[in-house]
Amino acid sequence: MDTLAFDGRMGASGDMILAALLDLGADPDVLAPVENALGVEFDIDRTTTGGIDAASVDVRYAAEAGDGTHEHEHGAEHDHDHHHDHATHEHESTVEGHGPTRRYDEVIEVVERMALPDAVEERALSIFARLGTAEAAVHGTDLHATHFHEVGADDAIADVVGASLLLADLDPDKVLTTPLSTGDGTVSMAHGTATVPAPAVVEIIADADYSIQGGPIKRELLTPTGAAILAEVADGVETLPTMDVWASGYGAGDHDTGDRANALRVLLGETAGDLRRESITVLETNVDDVSPEMLGGLQETLTEAGARDVSILPVTMKKSRPGHLIKVVVKPEDADRVARRLAEETGTLGVREHGAGHRWVAERETRTVDIELDAETYPVDVKVASDREGTWLDASAEYEDALSVARETGRPVREVMKRAEQAVGE
């Protein structure tokens, strides 16, 4: 399958992501809706960093004066000869964007007026939700009523929507990222100084699939916009996967990092079909006074509450009493609800949670096949498991369907199930 992999060992920012995708081969013409809606231009250029030839992107305003400055809505002049995510100052401000800032709701309106493809708009709005939620948490404000510099500035909007458009143009089957370097030291903020990673970045990465690592230099390398874009689009991996690479791109930041290349690398290639990675957590509790009938019903009741899998194991408890260990696999967002239902159903006094992280699961679908028995045709549903490329892995006939056919024909259930599963394989 086509896989796009970011290598974030020098961090990531909005403009670095844009530049890397353009250098990889994404069509810059797809950025036109952003330029038209915001009155900006994407200034695409090339530079050398640490001996590496890389693309660079800056967002400039159509009304920008020839001396590289832009008139803010309050009349103050601000230097715009920069890459807005990675400033050249010793302590970069986490206020990434320039131009008029807006409330979160106003940003949503701006994006919706761009008339983007549905999938692109959905992705961009999800990224803004991550950014806005993080800023609201850091500052203790209401998401919908507060101005957020990172969310509301025009060039931050350009970064987020632009990255969404470029990814849609490349259209990979899967997007990955290696651990992202955050940098080290401190960062200047509007109301003081914070340690790296900046507070908004910490909020964002708490809900991201990828991992982070400190260093390798004393600068802020991972910005809120970069963190949010990759949190939305990429699955985290510890190392680059085995892949046949047919294209690569480098997106330059604006730090002077000496011999180190201050660039985000991205690779495009083919990887073998694999299973889908799904975030999970595991709930468990021990019980010794629950009837067999109640235990038997837990599969259904906990599944209704959101459980992905339920296992019940016999165990020996205190004073050699027989009991059961109940283990429940859930998505993290469903853990509270399922834990409460588990307590209600069993009367347990405590439910433990283990952060399993992820599980690898096959894609699953139900197909209806017709089998012929005694010159009659009978439909049977079959669950089919496959990898992300569609390669068939396994098939399992629905027991209740097979039982119904078996009763009607007098055939063994096992025979009916086997015929249905063979029909899918054929």
> Order of strands across the sheet with 174-177?
40-49, 52-61, 244-252, 263-270, 2-7, 174-177, 235-236
Range 71-97 average pLDDT? 36
Which residues make beta-bridge pairs with 325? 286, 313
Phi and psi torsions of 269, nearest 5°: -170, -165
Q: How many residues does the chain have?
A: 426
Looking at every residue in the chain, the average pLDDT score rounds to: 82
Residue 357's closest CA among 242, 243, 235, 274?
Answer: 235
> For residue 61, is pLDDT > 70?
yes
Supply the DSSP symbol for 374.
T
Can you read off the two tokens belonging to residue 102? 């807006």
Chain segment 237-276, per-residue pLDDT in tens: 888 887 889 999 999 987 776 678 889 999 999 886 566 6
Domains delineated in the chain: 2-270 (no CATH), 276-360 (3.30.70.1380), 363-425 (3.10.20.300)
H or E element, residue 76: none
Chain segment 270-322, per-residue pLDDT in tens: 886 566 666 778 999 998 888 888 888 888 899 888 888 899 999 998 888 89
Range 123-150 average pLDDT? 80
